[in-house]
Amino acid sequence: MECELKDQIAIVTGGARGMGAAIGACLARAGSRVVLTDIDADTVKRTASQINDALGNEFAVAIAADVTNERQVEALIEETGHRLGAVTTLVNNAGLLFPTPVADISLGEWEKVVSVNLTGTFLCSRAAVPVMREQRFGRIVNMSSSAGRSVSTIGGAHYTAAKAGVLGLTRALAKELAADGILVNAVCPGLIDTQMVREICDEKAVAAYEGSFPLRRLGLPDEVAGVVRFLCNPESYITGASIDVNGGDLMI
């Protein structure tokens, strides 16, 4: 096991499955102690146990929380401090996607998608910043999307708008927090082979998308996780950046 993240305490939101689970495992393999948080309490506990079983040590713990709930987010930061130590790394991965056409998006659905993807990123970052400022060190990685740069492949207008907002929030935080030793960056995955994507796209649709990408396949959660790990390195000089992980689907 490589240990470039030894002594780091990471929180990964949306950590029960998909990219969140892959990111948690990747950071743990790099030596970080990891808190996986999710509203799905049972699944996130199983995911943490699977990481620990694979590594043969207690690298991951699970804490159930709703990133859209201000009090639960504040409690998450506090409980992390009590159980593992002061948070040094925050990966805002929790997300929600619906393929609803704009004319059919209810106000409630709009608010739910924006709340999870954008407001949750804000609430978790705001809660972690005081702890990171006290240490004069921090790494925040926000999960945006190719949708944030252009338009979503399979999500509705609310998802595209929220992920574009994540990029703006990332730049604002990076500028404001740099003097405190806190680096803030975003990762922009394209179509990644996760359960969420498979729930929306049937095999025929997946094959069509794969055929349109320069790399001719969907991305893998581990391929996103490796980029997050790179941005969490204590020796990084990168802030305010957004890194595309899309197999060449969107070239800027």
Q: How far is the CA of 197 from the CAs of 11, 99, 142, 170, 190, in angstroms?
A: 24, 11, 19, 25, 11
Residue located via tokens 């069509």: 208
User: Do the beta carbons of residue 34 and residue 10 sit within 8 Å?
Assistant: yes
CB 154 within 8 A of CB 197: yes
The CA distance from 183 to 236, in Å, is 8
**98 near 109, Cβ under 8 Å?**
yes
Q: How far is CA 59 from CA 39, 77, 218, in A?
A: 20, 17, 29
Determine contact, residues 33/9, Cβ cutoff 8 Å: yes
Q: How far apart are CA 14 and CA 36, in angstroms?
A: 7
**Which residues are CB-neighbours of 154 under 8 A, at least 6 positions away?**
97, 99, 191, 197, 200, 201
Active site residue 159: yes
DSSP tally for the chain: helices H, then strands E: 10, 7
Among 59, 122, 159, 209, which one carries the catalytic annotation? 159
Catalytic residue numbers read: 159
